Amino acid sequence: MYHSDSHPWTGQIEFLSFRLGGLEYGLEFSKVQELRSLKSLERFASDGEIISGVAVSRGVIMPIVDMRVAFDDSARAPGQTDVIVLQLSSCIMGVVVDGVTNVVTLDASQISPLPGSGQVCEPGYDYLMGLGEADGRRLVLVDIDKLMSIRRKAGREAAGTQQAA
């Protein structure tokens, strides 16, 4: 689902790699503002499922999205979790993951389409940019801006449906 025309990268790109539900993912490092442990954040609301609350980090109030629930509900297990604080195009937010691995530098030639994706992105999955390979590791590369905009749209549509009923 990675298309060189949708992400015209040249040279090397840095990705922050993280674990989630037994897989390793990567997102563009340029979107990362800071890394925190979930326990270190001052949380003052936490009753949602995917939106697991609101927290304060360095004086900024931000929503916290639990990616463990969003990607695989059974993956939500107690233990060490990390929060990646992101500066997206529309807001600052935190995403909860099983753990941050490291920063991986990939050349555009090291990014390939996802197996079975063909030439056309399936609706709702265009946030998957492809597979990155480095040092024997495979990363599922995610366009985090697109992923978070899909979640917001889905939430708004569900709210509209409930209001119409």
Is 165 within the bounds of a domain? no
Per-residue pLDDT tens over the stretch 92-136 = 999 999 999 999 999 988 999 877 655 445 555 678 889 999 888
**pLDDT for the residue 118:** 53
**pLDDT for the residue 74:** 54
Per-residue pLDDT tens over the stretch 146-155 = 888 764 444 4
The rounded distance, in Å, linking the Cα atoms of 155 and 146 is 14
**pLDDT for the residue 9:** 58
Q: Which residues of 85-120 are buried (b: 16+ CB within 10 A; e: fewer)?
A: bbeeeeebbbbbbbebbeebebeeebbebbeebeee
Q: Which residue has the higher pLDDT, 78 or 86?
A: 86
Per-residue pLDDT tens over the stretch 2-21 = 344 445 556 799 999 999 88
- Cα–Cα separations (whole angstroms), residue 119 to 55, 113, 133: 40, 9, 20
**pLDDT for the residue 90:** 81
Is 112 within the bounds of a domain? yes
Is 7 within the bounds of a domain? no
- Cα–Cα separations (whole angstroms), residue 123 to 1, 26, 109: 11, 21, 25
Is 6 within the bounds of a domain? no
Is 137 within the bounds of a domain? yes
Is 67 within the bounds of a domain? yes
In Å, how far from its chain's centre is CA 72? 13
Number of domains in the chain: 1
Which residue reads 């954040």 in tokens? Answer: 41
Per-residue pLDDT tens over the stretch 40-84 = 887 766 655 556 678 888 888 888 888 887 666 555 555 668 999
* Dihedral class, residue 124 (left if φ above 0, else alpha if ψ from -120 to 50, else beta): left
Its domain, for residue 29, covers 12-160
* CATH number of residue 109's parent domain: 2.40.50.180
Is 100 within the bounds of a domain? yes
Is 4 within the bounds of a domain? no
Strands (E), the chain: 12-20, 23-28, 32-37, 42-45, 51-57, 60-66, 82-87, 92-97, 99-107, 111-112, 128-134, 137-142
